[in-house]
Each structure stands twice: as structure tokens, then as C-alpha cells.
Amino acid sequence: MQVLLVLTAAASFAGAVALPLLYPLPPAAHIHLALAAGVMPLIFSAMIHFVPVLTRSAIAPLGVRLISLLMLIAGLLGFFSFAANSPIILSCCIHRVRCSDGIRYLDHPACRVTVGRPHPCLDWYLGAIASLIMALAAVFAMALWPEQRLALKSLHLHLNTLGFIGLTAIATLQVLLPTVAGRPDLRPARDCIAI
């Protein structure tokens, strides 16, 4: 599934660059094509892939692994909503439900039943998904407080890029850097010995 999501992300980036040249759409449509339909499903898939590594536990059930595909569908709905100038509430609802499922999975006791303590980066992933949920809540707030639309739009953007994407990147890099540098990560070994 990750290969499909990488190809979809590459296609969504190419579409976000090419579409403004071919057909005039609101800028938010192109941004959502790249980020909501490209980056978000790929990041969710990476999170789901790394949780068993962080917890030293079993792989996620199929229902959880399919969250990424549902995020892709929601991202495409968001893009088409902007392209057609229609409300994007349906897309946000799907995103909120999927994000809530992601938090329930990451905070599920099965993820906490590990060999040793879970890697601290698991909490960074929880923070990233919480940022995404708050970013989607800002979209709902735009409909309730149109006079605060610009501020809520800025909040939505920052919670997505710095919160969701940034926290996920920090967490994933902490796991991958010892491997890339060719040095062992001694923390899991210490955690297992401390049991």
C-alpha cells in the first residue's frame, strides 16, 4: 500500500504544479491536492508502519492500515470541493473520523503492551494527529465564525504543516537517524533490560 501512496503523492504534486497552467482553479484547490491528497495519506501510512517498530508489537490490523486510503479519498473530496466551489464539510468529517481512529489505535492498550517501554516518539505521533484534528476543527469553526475566517485559515495551515507534518517528521527522524548513521539505538535495549 505504501508504494501506491508514494505514487499517488508524486501524482498529486505533479497535478498541483500542472493544473494551474492548464485550468484556473482557486489556489486552495492546488494546495489541498498536494497536501490533503498526497502528503497526509502518505504520512498516516508511515505512522501506521512505524508504530510496531516504536512499540515492538504486532502490525496494525487491516482496518487501521486502510485509514490511509480513506484519508486519500477524503483529500480528493477536499480538492474537488475547492475545485467546484462547494463546501468541504464532508471531507472534513471523514478526516476527523479517520484521525480519531488513528489516535484510538496509537493510544490503544495493544500498542502499549510491548517488549519494554514504547519508544517516546509514539507520543510525538499522538501529538501530530491531535494537531491534525485541531486543524480540521478550525475548518468547522470557519463556518461558525466567518468574521474570523482569515485567522482560522492561518491556524489551520500552521497546525497542519508545523503540527501534523512537523511533529511526524521529528518523531520519524529520531527513529531513522541511528539506522542511517550506522549507530545502534541503545534506548530500546536499555528499556528491555530495565523490565
| pLDDT score for 20 | 86
Does residue 145 contact residue 151 with C-beta atoms inside 8 Å? no
C-alpha cell at position 179: 539506522
- In one-letter notation, the amino acid at residue 46 is A
**Nearest-CA neighbor of 114 among 58, 56, 61, 59?**
56
Does residue 51 contact residue 122 with C-beta atoms inside 8 Å? yes
| pLDDT score for 12 | 93
C-alpha cell at position 36: 490533503
Alpha carbon distance 141, 146 (integer Å) = 8
Does residue 88 contact residue 77 with C-beta atoms inside 8 Å? yes
| pLDDT score for 131 | 92
**Nearest-CA neighbor of 29 among 112, 72, 88?**
88
> Higher-confidence residue: 64 or 179?
64
Alpha carbon distance 61, 64 (integer Å) = 6
| pLDDT score for 76 | 84
**Nearest-CA neighbor of 41 among 80, 72, 66, 3?**
72
Residue 97 pLDDT exceeds 50: yes
Per-residue model confidence as pLDDT tens digits over 162-180: 999 999 998 888 877 777 7
Does residue 98 contact residue 74 with C-beta atoms inside 8 Å? yes
Per-residue model confidence as pLDDT tens digits over 16-59: 999 888 888 888 888 889 998 899 899 988 888 888 877 777 77
Per-residue model confidence as pLDDT tens digits over 147-167: 999 999 999 999 999 999 999
| pLDDT score for 185 | 63
| pLDDT score for 9 | 92
Residue 187 pLDDT exceeds 70: no
Alpha carbon distance 113, 106 (integer Å) = 12
Alpha carbon distance 26, 17 (integer Å) = 13
> Higher-confidence residue: 167 or 108?
167
Percent of the chain topping pLDDT 70: 76
